[in-house]
Amino acid sequence: MSCGSSSLVGVDGMEAGIYPLRCKRWSCTDCGPRKVRRVMAQIGAGLRLGRTRFLTLTSPGGEDAATSWAELPGRWKRFHQRLVRRYGAFEYLAVTEVQQRGNPHLHIVYRGKYMPQRVLRGMAGECGFGRVADIRDGHPGLVRYLAKYLTKDLQRDLSAHIPAGDQRGVGGPPRYYRRVRMSRHWCEPFQQNEPAHHWPNWYILAGPPEHAVREVTRVGYRVVELVLGPWRGPVAAAGRLRWLRGMGARWSTKPKPQREAA
C-alpha cells in the first residue's frame, strides 16, 4: 500500500471526516521524517527527567551482517536482564545504527546507576556483543547525535527479511524489528494528534482524501473535516471508490448515514 493511497473516514450521523491512511514506514519519504521528529522529541523529554548516561554496544568483529541482525534481539534481551539483576531497573531509549559493513550497533541513553566500563565490556561479551562497549555521561546534544543514525538510513527499508540461505552475509533486521526501543517510563506518553471531531464509527476507503470527498458526499455525508496526505499519484477516474473492510466492532464495510427526520 502506498502512503496516503487510501483514506480513513470517520462518521457521526450525517457528518464525516476524511484523513490519509499512512504507511508509517521508516523508508517512506513522508512518514520517515515524521517518525524521526517524534523520536527526537522523546529523547529530549527523557533527558529532562534526570541525569542520563550514554552506552554503546557493538557487533562482534568479523561477523557477517545477517548473523548480527539475527542474533541482536536475543543478545539485547540477555544483556538487559543481566543489567537489571545487577544494578536494578532503569529507563532507557535505544537506537540501532547500521554500519557501512551492514552490521548493527546499539546506542542507548538511560537513567540509572553508573555501570563501570570494565564490567559492561565483560557482560557484553558474555551476551554475544563485540568487545567494544563504551559508556559516558549524557548531554543535550544526544538528541541530534542519536537522530542522525535514524535519518541517514531513511531510504533503506529495514523491515525486510534476511533471505533464507543468504550466503553473502548481507541482510537486514528480522521482520517487525523495532529500530527504536524504549522502556515504558523513559518519558511521559505523547498525545496523539487527534481529529477535531470524535467519530464513533470508522471506515476505510480505497482512494486518497482528495478523491474520497466525492464518494463520501455521494453516499450522503457532509464532510466537516478534511486532512490531505502525501499521495502524489494519478487522479482517479470519475467513478465509485471501493469501501474496504476495517477492523474491530466499530468498523464496517460501507457506511449508512442516519438521515434527519423530515
Assess whether pLDDT exceeds 80 at residue 252: no
Residue 153 — very low, low, confident or very high, per pLDDT cuts 50/70/90? low
Residue 119: partners with Cβ closer than 8 Å, 6 or more residues away: 86
Q: Give the tens place of pLDDT for each residue, 163-186.
A: 444 434 445 566 667 888 889 888
More confident residue, 26 or 209: 209
pLDDT at 156: 53
| SS3 sequence of 17-37 | EEEECCCCCCCCCCHHHHHHH
Question: Measuring CA to CA, which residue among 93, 96, 117, 113 is closest to residue 105?
Answer: 96
Query: What's the whole-model pTM score?
Result: 0.72
Is residue 73 within a helix (H) or strand (E), and if so which, with residue range?
A: helix 65-87
Residues 2, 207: contact at Cβ < 8 Å?
Answer: no
Percentage of residues in the chain having pLDDT higher than 90: 13
pLDDT band with cut points at 50, 70 and 90 for residue 260: low
Distances (CA, A) of 102 to 119, 208, 261: 27, 36, 64
Check whether domain 50-182 has CATH 3.30.70.1150, yes or no: yes
**3-state helix vs strand vs coil in the chain, percent to 5:** 25, 20, 50
DSSP, residue by residue, 152-204: TTTTS-TTPPPPTT--S----PPTT--SEEE-TTSSPPPPP---SS--SEEEE
Q: What is the C-alpha to C-alpha distance for residues 247 and 108, in angstroms, rounded to an integer?
A: 36
- Average pLDDT score over residue span 235-247: 61
With cut-offs at 50, 70 and 90, classify the pLDDT of residue 127: very high
Q: Give the model confidence (pLDDT) of 32-64 as tens digits.
A: 888 888 888 888 888 888 888 888 898 988 888
Rounded alpha-carbon distances, angstroms, from residue 56 to 93, 120, 146, 248: 12, 10, 11, 41
Domain boundaries, the chain: 7-24+194-244, 50-182
C-alpha grid cell for residue 48?
529532562
